A and B are shown apart, each in its own frame.
Chain A
Amino acid sequence: MRSVAALFAIGVLALVVQGALARMLPPPWCPDLAWLVVVGIGLRWPRFVSGIVLSVVLGYGMDLLSSSLMGQHALLRLVTFLAAALAARQLDLSGSVPIGIFVLVMTVVYGLAMVLSLSFFVDASWPGIDVVGSALIHALVNVLAAGPMIGLVERLIVRFSDEEVGRHGTAPLGFDGGRGGLL
C-alpha cells in the first residue's frame, strides 16, 4: 500500500513540476514527466490492477490541469500502461536504448491519438503535418527525460517492495521480482 501511495505522490509531483516547467519551455519542448511515470509503472510495476488504476487516476490529474476532455488523458494513459506492461513482458527493455525507442514511439502514438480523439469528440480541426513535427520534438524531449524518471520509479518500487517484503515476511501479492504478477 505504501508503494502505491509513493507512486501516486511521485506522479502528482511530476504533474506539478511539469506545470512549472511549462512556464519556461514552449509546448513541444516540455517533457511529459507524469506520462513517463505511467510508462515507468507499466514497465516495472508488477501489480497489474493497482498499476492500471494508478495510471487512470494520474491521467485524471492530468486532465484536470489541461484543457483536454475529462477522461481523455486517463484513457490514453490506461492504453499507455497496457502497452508498457505488454512490452515489458514480451520484449527485453532492460537497457536505456530499447526504453528510449519505446518512449519515442509511444510518445508519437500518444500525441496523434490525443489529437485524433479530440477531432472525434469535439469537432476540432484535423491534425496537419505540423502535429507530427511537434509530436517528434516532444518524443525526443521525452526520451531525454525517460532515463531519470523511469529510474526514479524503479527505485521507488524496489525500495517500497523491499519494505513490504520485510514487514509481511513474504513478497507482496503478485510480486515476483519484477515480472509477470497479475494483481
Chain B
Amino acid sequence: MGDLLKRLAAPLVVVFLILLTVVSMVGDRRARDTGGRDLPWWQASLLEVTAPLERLLSAPFVAVEDFYDGYVDLIGVRAESRRLERRIAEIEAENLQFREALVASGHLGRVASMRDEVEIPMLPAEVVGLDVAPWFRSVLVDRGAQHGVEPGHPVITHQGVVGVVTATSGHAAKTMLLLDRQSAVDALVQRSRARGVVRGVGRDRLEFEFVVRGADVVEGDEVVTSGLGGVYPKGLRLGRVGELQEAGGRLTRIAIIEPAVDLGQLEQVFVMLRRGPQMDLLYQPNLPLDDLAGPAPVGAAPTGGAPGEGAR
C-alpha cells in the first residue's frame, strides 16, 4: 500500500495542480465578467511586496530615461510653446461657441445643476511596474483599495483612455491596458457617431470593429468611448483611425486605431473613482429634467450597457 501511494504520489500531484490551475482560470474569468476582484490575502501580500521592489529596481532606468527625455524635449520647446499658444486660442474660441450653443438650447442650467453628481473624482497614480509577460499588456499602479480604487475603475491620462483596473491589493492595482488581447471597449466615431467595438490585439495598435452598412468611418477620425459598456464614461478619447481594412464580404469591417495615449511610456495616470454610466446623463440632451433627478450614488453598480466592457 505504501509503495503504491509512493508511486502514485507524483501523478496525483500533477493532476491536482492541473485541476487547480484550470479552476483558477475559470474562476478568474468569471470574476472579470463581474468587473474584477480584490485579491485574496496571499496574492495581495505578494503584490504589496513586489510593487515597491519593482519601483526601487526600475528607479535608475527611469532616471536615465527622464534625463534623456528632458534633454530631447528641451530642443523643441520654443516651437512647441508657440504651437500650444495657437492651439489654446483655437480651443478658447471653440469653447465660447459651445457655451453659446448650450445657452441657446437651454441646457446650460441643467448641466450646471448636475455638476456635483457627474463630476467623477480622480486619483493620481504612478505606474510602478509593467506587465512581466510579453503576451499581455498591463501596468501596476501605486494606488490600491486603501485609496478607494476598486476593480472596474477606468484609468486615464489627459490624452485619453489607458485601461481598466482588474485587481487590487491595499496599495497597488493591476490595470489592464487597452492594448491587451482581453480588452474590448464600446466606442463611437466622434464625427459620424458610427458605433463599434475597440479591441486590443496585443500590439501597439487597436482594432475598431464596426458594422459596414451605414457606417461612415474615414482615416483620421477620432474614436471615443460610447459610455454604453458600463465601465468608461462617454467621450473619452481612445485613438485615431489610421487605416481601414477591406470588409471582404463580411458584415463588419476593421479600422486600425492609433491609441491616443502612448501606452508604452506611461508614468502618471488618473484612476476614475467611479464607473462611467452616470456621466452619460450629460450626453442625453433630450432627457426630461425629471429623469435627471436622483442620480445613482457614488460607487453604485452600473446599470445597462453591454456586459463585459473592459475585459472580454
Which residue numbers of A lie inside 8 Å of B, CB to CB?
12, 15-20, 22-24, 26-28, 30, 32, 34, 48-49, 52-53, 56, 59-62, 64-75, 78, 82, 111, 114-115, 118-119, 121-125, 128, 130-131, 134, 138, 182-183
- Interface contacts beyond A27-B131, A111-B135, A183-B10: sample of 16 additional A-B pairs, CB < 8 Å, sorted by A: A15-B132, A16-B53, A23-B61, A23-B65, A56-B20, A64-B39, A65-B140, A65-B174, A67-B131, A68-B135, A69-B24, A70-B28, A74-B21, A124-B182, A125-B181, A125-B199
Task: Encode B207-236 as 1/0 by CB contact (under 8 A) with A.
Answer: 100000000000000000000000000000
Contact across chains for A118 and B182 when beta carbons are under 8 A apart:
yes
Contact across chains for A71 and B131 when beta carbons are under 8 A apart:
no
Task: Encode B12-25 as 1/0 by CB contact (under 8 A) with A.
Answer: 01100110111111
Contact across chains for B25 and A75 when beta carbons are under 8 A apart:
yes
Contact across chains for A30 and B21 when beta carbons are under 8 A apart:
no
Q: List 7 A-B contacts (CB under 8 A).
A: A23-B61, A23-B129, A24-B58, A32-B133, A121-B25, A138-B134, A183-B6
Which A residues are in CB contact (< 8 Å) with B58? 19-20, 23-24
Which residue numbers of B lie inside 8 Å of A, CB to CB?
6, 9-10, 13-14, 17-18, 20-29, 32, 39, 43, 46-47, 50, 53-54, 57-58, 61-62, 65, 129-138, 140, 166, 174, 176-177, 180-182, 199, 201-203, 207, 264, 311-312
C-alpha spacing A123/B200, complex, angstroms: 12
Closest B residue to A13 by beta carbon equals B53
Max count, chain B CB within 10 A of own CB: residue among A12, A22, A138: A22
Contact across chains for A65 and B61 when beta carbons are under 8 A apart:
no
C-alpha spacing A26/B137, complex, angstroms: 11
C-alpha spacing A96/B21, complex, angstroms: 32
Contact across chains for A68 and B21 when beta carbons are under 8 A apart:
no
Max count, chain A CB within 10 A of own CB: residue among B23, B57, B174: B57
Contact across chains for A69 and B17 when beta carbons are under 8 A apart:
no
C-alpha spacing A118/B54, complex, angstroms: 26
Closest A residue to B136 by beta carbon equals A67
Q: A18-B132, A64-B46 are in contact. Are A125 and B201 (CB under 8 A)?
A: yes
C-alpha spacing A52/B61, complex, angstroms: 34
Contact across chains for A121 and B29 when beta carbons are under 8 A apart:
yes
**Which listed residue (B18, B54, B133, B311) contacts A75, Cβ 8 A?**
B18
Closest B residue to A114 by beta carbon equals B135
A22 to chain B, nearest CB (A): 4
Which A residues are in CB contact (< 8 Å) with B14? 52, 78, 82
Contact across chains for A49 and B10 when beta carbons are under 8 A apart:
yes
Contact across chains for B182 and A62 when beta carbons are under 8 A apart:
no
Which A residues are in CB contact (< 8 Å) with B23? 71
Max count, chain A CB within 10 A of own CB: residue among B17, B23, B129, B180: B17
Which A residues are in CB contact (< 8 Å) with B27? 70
Which A residues are in CB contact (< 8 Å) with B181? 115, 118-119, 122, 124-125
Which A residues are in CB contact (< 8 Å) with B20? 56, 71, 74
**Which listed residue (A17, A22, A23, A71) contacts B28, Cβ 8 A?**
A71
Which B residues are in CB contact (< 8 Å) with A70? 24-25, 27-28, 43
Which A residues are in CB contact (< 8 Å) with B10? 48-49, 52, 182-183
Contact across chains for A49 and B9 when beta carbons are under 8 A apart:
yes
C-alpha spacing A69/B26, complex, angstroms: 8
Contact across chains for B21 and A67 when beta carbons are under 8 A apart:
no
B20 to chain A, nearest CB (A): 7
Q: A15-B50, A16-B54, A115-B181 are in contact. Are A67 and B201 (CB under 8 A)?
A: no
Contact across chains for B18 and A183 when beta carbons are under 8 A apart:
no
Max count, chain B CB within 10 A of own CB: residue among A16, A52, A73, A75: A16
Contact across chains for A22 and B311 when beta carbons are under 8 A apart:
no
**Which listed residue (B57, B202, B264) contacts A20, Cβ 8 A?**
B57
Closest B residue to A125 by beta carbon equals B201
A-B pairs with lowest CB-CB distance, top 7: A71-B24, A67-B138, A20-B57, A75-B21, A124-B181, A27-B134, A71-B21
Which A residues are in CB contact (< 8 Å) with B130? 19, 22-23
Closest A residue to B26 by beta carbon equals A121
Contact across chains for B17 and A52 when beta carbons are under 8 A apart:
yes
**Which listed residue (B46, B135, B177) contacts A115, Cβ 8 A?**
B135
Closest B residue to A55 by beta carbon equals B17
Max count, chain B CB within 10 A of own CB: residue among A15, A34, A48, A65: A65
